[in-house]
Structure 1
């Protein structure tokens, strides 16, 4: 891994599918400019993995793929998935193995209203919250299967797996984050209906938070939480949630704050024993792929999160300020009600990074 003295970072780049092939190059251009400005180097290795690779080779990445990625300081991902290939092949062939092999047990998803982008909920105010999603177990386990396949009484079973270690470390990360913000934490649950895993979640979260007496925790049922998030998104700060609940809440919150097209995420191995991975939330968006109109903000913001994780907070702040300034000046892509192309928005960000 990278020595802090060298300020040189090895980055694996997987543009992937759909608009990932457009927004990743846009973000890399800006990342290289901000690196030059702050006098560090990003050594980029691009891997042509994804659905096109699957169609040619029958797999989303080669058998040596994870070994290759392990050599890097971070992974910069665009998007995964095309309509022609089932998600169970694309996601479980690339994204999920990366998350689990490298123990990226935190999915960090900041959500806030950006300049020039009004919240989609009237009276929402300024939204500024972070969702801490447990990222490697929970409802997205691979435990289960089908029986009586092809028969009228065919059945499918999917097991949710919650471990004390998994829940505790997610709760601990969220509590530590809350101490740097408002000391307020919301825990998403459904312990009135899911009678084993969710009461266990509540118990472990409570046990963990006992070590943080300055942090207040509010346990909220997921259905009520979704409603409150729509009605009063500004009333939340840090939300900790299981894999499924965190996934749903982060998309909902991103849409409320203005557009899912601007939302970033970091798949973190907080101890940095393995590379972490940074990606936008928006997915491959095949309906607009190849048109040059994709919003690069989610990828740019994911890049800023990567710089922060690598230990370059000033560069991360500069990159964020650059795309926020573009938005504030009215430069917006089609999904935000503007007319700018991907290239035009990227040019605007680049101009601010070289001014």
Structure 2
């Protein structure tokens, strides 16, 4: 009659929790859990239903390295107990390290299948995108002309304990990246620039003019745009069309009669179709719901949103999170083309490989401070990681 045996339910939940290594109280609200803990709950939930197969779609997209390793240990343990795991991921190292068999899909079709050890990373990339990807050594890096006025500058920016005395200059034509570990203060700095919060000290300059931005709307009016880290919850409007998502920042350009609040559907469709073609966004039409597009195409639509909006500074927070290597390469090409056209580009990424592939210059942050700058051939994964753990106070102590 719909009555629940809570005692038996509790026994089953505790057994599943122990099996996946849950250590927090089981009466904790899920809203209070971290992303990693929520994954443990989802896996435990599947186990209470005696699941013989569990499908995991991008499980480590928002996890730290220690959290990912904990998840991998659970996956291996479940597999040893006879549970089949269908693991979907764009993180190729994880796939090669974790999976017994690899199946590659491209444009909805299986293009390759291999047993563990039969493919290395280069072979897997080639199977995914149909050709070898450029290496960091094969791409040109722009050396900015520092004798000219910067497109954007930050001067002694401080905010709470997250950002501490950060100063930087971004020059025309270059892709400037902020590297560092999660919690280093990079996203908080980006939010200050985009008007989501106001600095407690310091100021910003755009094209040599001092800024006084009070909110995101004023930032957009000034020419500053942000493509946020969480694409689906903070960027795209999932229930709206591709055209709506692209055109939302340039409604003034789409008026039927200048000065009157009536929009031309024809103008909106033409603008969206032009930008879709320009960035190679794969969609059935611009009237299709953006929720039906892949992560990479959603991300390109977010970039397209700002191309006709008079943007002078575009901030991209984790621009290729959750997209495959082919889409990442296309997004990187679009970002570099924007930079070369004169738009200031500030990229934030926790993916050190992405930084080596995309950035002309890398500033590494740790605990709210910039700990070092890398240019040219010095932009390597090893150098970025080294600076990510580097304590600027150590240098001060040695100098003293």
| TM-score normalized with structure 2 length | 0.28
Relative contact order (C-alpha < 8 Å, sep 6+): which is higher? 1
